[in-house]
Chain A
């Protein structure tokens, strides 16, 4: 064989009578690696990554002390004026990183949930996970357990307990998308009420801190909040990518997936835990930034032209939405900094309405 790296037949994939419009095969002889590449999805992901990088750096230039774009990028790698480096690395970088990582986590988590339940409305911020994390964190603030790791641990605990509650209540010989959504909405309201009660009960400063966190806020993030989030993503993102292949069969329904050799219940539990972990750490760091987990996967899916929310592109879209939303929030009204959750909420509500109208028309919810 003249070239052992590529199988000689691989160009034949391009001449196939069908399917070539959407994907191309790649195939190596040694190691025996093969798969399909979807040019539109790859192109979209590259564009989203570039866009995210630009908005990320743009965010670093914005603030009381104006810094040029190139200076900001150079300060990222530690070169330039020491004052600039200090401002960028100590004050602005943590905020941008929390936005980036939380956005990725929201997007990927939403994609996992939406594919698992086969329903775009079953995103973590619709079925109570975000609200559950919120209740736990506010309880922590009001009852006096504040602080970086404490908040994260509480958020994780709240989301996990809520997820298990929803799953258990929705379980009747398996779970369906609709049942998870209906139970989830109920649980979300219970959590919201509990949060409201805690806020009303708390002292003035505690209530203010809780409310500031509850709208989803990147203001004043520190390295202490970046660390746990980055660590969580380092574990959970590879898990999400590995689960992606199994999601493809799960998307065809439990019976078909079982027939195709997927062990449905363990896979679903793994997806649930991964998704909950992502949403919990992101919510604990950035607060419940509204609608990102719901909208980002749907936007990515429409842009990529796929029949499922693509994992990587969903994460990048989430990051772009959170960072872009934060940028708008900081620059929209001169002199005041709106919380990012307000912006994503205003932008996300129409997306939700559009999804609801579409789901009703197609009758394809469950």
Chain B
């Protein structure tokens, strides 16, 4: 479990220990299916008549974390929406395990693929546990709304996101980081093998960004969930993703491991930004140092 600066030692009644650790308990993995196969072919995406993405092919590596990066308005969120069937493609299709998304019934799709949109808003006063329980709705029916499996999944999701102690608190009263963890808990309770996250770190301070990304890594490693997320921060993408997809003007410029994709040339091409690449001393992944116009000191640079 990631170190959580917010909820350590915050147990008003001292009952923290009753929360089951996610690793213990019955071996009943919420993502039992082996590797999901999510891929897009010949994708053309448009809002009204404005084409945002054209001729895009993508195969999401199963069981890994994929980060989609790119400048603003490059179509990365649009692509994620199409992968989640929030947007119907004009041409081409997204396939999950060999079936076109458009042909999968909504409920069945929601049992296999979860999406957390950017900055979702919870109704005022909705408690964390109520929110997380709604993540179970694709598994519920009108007469079966709180089965044993639902309860277990909600408890596990709360424990996995370190939200058990805050379960009865209204979501809108939480800090930004806790709120995002509550939403992720909802997506976790949904129990889908594939999890799509649209900029899960937006509006969070640095500590909470790391907290959320560590949580995503937990979900990937412990529960073998395939994760695709849109990220703004290249260095975080390098550190937390196994596979990086760099987009520019609605097409994929480069994809592969962080070390393959994040080079000075690619960053300059994708973001129109001159930079140096060094190595993250902690994770040994590429670290992007932007140049900017003002702070370069050529005289002090060692000759290459």
Q: Do A and B come from one complex?
A: yes
User: Contact between A262 and B137 (Cβ–Cβ < 8 Å)?
Assistant: yes
With A307-B123, A307-B126 given, is the CB distance from A16 to B170 under 8 Å? no
With A258-B86, A259-B86 given, is the CB distance from A251 to B123 under 8 Å? yes
Task: Point out the residues of chain B lying under 8 angstroms from A255, CB to CB.
Answer: 81, 86, 115, 117, 120
5 contacts between A and B (CB under 8 A): A7-B148, A17-B167, A18-B167, A249-B137, A255-B117
Closest CB-CB distance, B98 to chain A, in whole Å?
Answer: 20
Say yes or no: is A263 at the interface (Cβ < 8 Å to chain B): yes
User: Contact between A9 and B135 (Cβ–Cβ < 8 Å)?
Assistant: no
Task: Point out the residues of chain A lying under 8 angstroms from B126, CB to CB.
Answer: 251, 307-308
Task: Point out the residues of chain B lying under 8 angstroms from A9, CB to CB.
Answer: 148
User: Contact between B124 and A260 (Cβ–Cβ < 8 Å)?
Assistant: no
User: Contact between B147 and A32 (Cβ–Cβ < 8 Å)?
Assistant: yes
Residue among B47, B122, B165 making CB contact with A18, cutoff 8 Å: B165
Say yes or no: is B266 at the interface (Cβ < 8 Å to chain A): no
Q: Chain B 116-151 against A: per-residue CB contact (8 Å), 1 yes, 0 no?
A: 110011111111011101110110101111111011
Complex Cα–Cα for A258 and B167 (A): 24
Give chain A's interface residue range (CB within 8 Å of chain B): 35 or more
Chain A residue at smallest Cβ distance from B131: A252
Task: Point out the residues of chain B lying under 8 angstroms from A256, CB to CB.
Answer: 115-117, 120
User: Contact between B86 and A25 (Cβ–Cβ < 8 Å)?
Assistant: no
Say yes or no: is B38 at the interface (Cβ < 8 Å to chain A): no
**Residue ranges of A at the interface with B (Cβ–Cβ < 8 Å):** 7, 9, 13, 16-19, 21-22, 25-27, 31-36, 118, 173, 242, 245, 248-249, 251-253, 255-256, 258-263, 305-308, 362, 364
Task: Point out the residues of chain A lying under 8 angstroms from B111, CB to CB.
Answer: 261
Closest CB-CB distance, B228 to chain A, in whole Å?
Answer: 13
Closest CB-CB distance, A253 to chain B, in whole Å?
Answer: 6
Q: Which of the listed residues A17, A34, A308 has the most CB atoms from chain B within 10 Å of its own CB?
A: A17
User: Contact between B138 and A245 (Cβ–Cβ < 8 Å)?
Assistant: no
User: Contact between A25 and B129 (Cβ–Cβ < 8 Å)?
Assistant: no
Complex Cα–Cα for A308 and B143 (A): 20
Closest CB-CB distance, A138 to chain B, in whole Å?
Answer: 37
Complex Cα–Cα for A227 and B145 (A): 35
Complex Cα–Cα for A18 and B168 (A): 6
Interface of B is mostly: mixed
Chain B residue at smallest Cβ distance from A241: B142
**Residue ranges of B at the interface with A (Cβ–Cβ < 8 Å):** 15, 18-19, 47-48, 81, 84-86, 106-111, 113-117, 120-127, 129-131, 133-135, 137-138, 140, 142-148, 150-151, 154-155, 158, 164-165, 167-168, 170, 190
User: Contact between A248 and B129 (Cβ–Cβ < 8 Å)?
Assistant: no
Closest CB-CB distance, A260 to chain B, in whole Å?
Answer: 5
Interface of A is mostly: loop
Closest CB-CB distance, A301 to chain B, in whole Å?
Answer: 8
Task: Point out the residues of chain A lying under 8 angstroms from B170, CB to CB.
Answer: 307
Complex Cα–Cα for A260 and B190 (A): 8
Complex Cα–Cα for A173 and B106 (A): 20
User: Contact between A36 and B168 (Cβ–Cβ < 8 Å)?
Assistant: no
* 11 new A-B contacts at CB < 8 Å, known A22-B168, A34-B144: A18-B129, A18-B167, A34-B145, A249-B134, A252-B122, A255-B117, A258-B85, A259-B110, A259-B115, A261-B110, A307-B127
Task: Point out the residues of chain B lying under 8 angstroms from A25, CB to CB.
Answer: 146, 151
User: Contact between B19 and A27 (Cβ–Cβ < 8 Å)?
Assistant: no
Closest CB-CB distance, A322 to chain B, in whole Å?
Answer: 26
Residue among A34, A118, A263, A305 making CB contact with B106, cutoff 8 Å: A263
Residue among B107, B122, B145 making CB contact with A245, cutoff 8 Å: B145
User: Contact between B48 and A32 (Cβ–Cβ < 8 Å)?
Assistant: no
Q: Which of the listed residues A13, A259, A260 has the most CB atoms from chain B within 10 Å of its own CB?
A: A259
Task: Point out the residues of chain B lying under 8 angstroms from A26, CB to CB.
Answer: 146
User: Contact between A261 and B168 (Cβ–Cβ < 8 Å)?
Assistant: no
Complex Cα–Cα for A121 and B47 (A): 30
Task: Point out the residues of chain A lying under 8 angstroms from B131, CB to CB.
Answer: 252
Complex Cα–Cα for A283 and B79 (A): 47
Closest CB-CB distance, A257 to chain B, in whole Å?
Answer: 9
Closest CB-CB distance, A247 to chain B, in whole Å?
Answer: 11
Task: Point out the residues of chain B lying under 8 angstroms from A35, CB to CB.
Answer: 143-146
Residue among B81, B122, B144, B167 making CB contact with A32, cutoff 8 Å: B144
Complex Cα–Cα for A35 and B146 (A): 4
User: Contact between B106 and A253 (Cβ–Cβ < 8 Å)?
Assistant: no
User: Contact between B142 and A252 (Cβ–Cβ < 8 Å)?
Assistant: no
Task: Point out the residues of chain A lying under 8 angstroms from B19, CB to CB.
Answer: 17
Chain A residue at smallest Cβ distance from B130: A307
Complex Cα–Cα for A252 and B142 (A): 19
Closest CB-CB distance, B199 to chain A, in whole Å?
Answer: 13
Task: Point out the residues of chain B lying under 8 angstroms from A251, CB to CB.
Answer: 123, 126
User: Contact between B134 and A13 (Cβ–Cβ < 8 Å)?
Assistant: no
Complex Cα–Cα for A255 and B47 (A): 16
With A248-B137, A260-B110, A308-B123 given, is the CB distance from A18 to B146 under 8 Å? no
With A18-B165, A251-B123, A307-B170 given, is the CB distance from A13 to B151 under 8 Å? yes
Task: Point out the residues of chain B lying under 8 angstroms from A27, CB to CB.
Answer: 146-148
With A18-B129, A25-B151, A255-B120 given, is the CB distance from A260 to B135 under 8 Å? yes
Chain B residue at smallest Cβ distance from A115: B123
Chain B residue at smallest Cβ distance from A19: B129
Chain A residue at smallest Cβ distance from B115: A259
Complex Cα–Cα for A25 and B158 (A): 17
Task: Point out the residues of chain A lying under 8 angstroms from B15, CB to CB.
Answer: 17
Task: Point out the residues of chain B lying under 8 angstroms from A362, CB to CB.
Answer: 124
With A260-B135, A261-B137, A364-B124 given, is the CB distance from A16 to B151 under 8 Å? yes
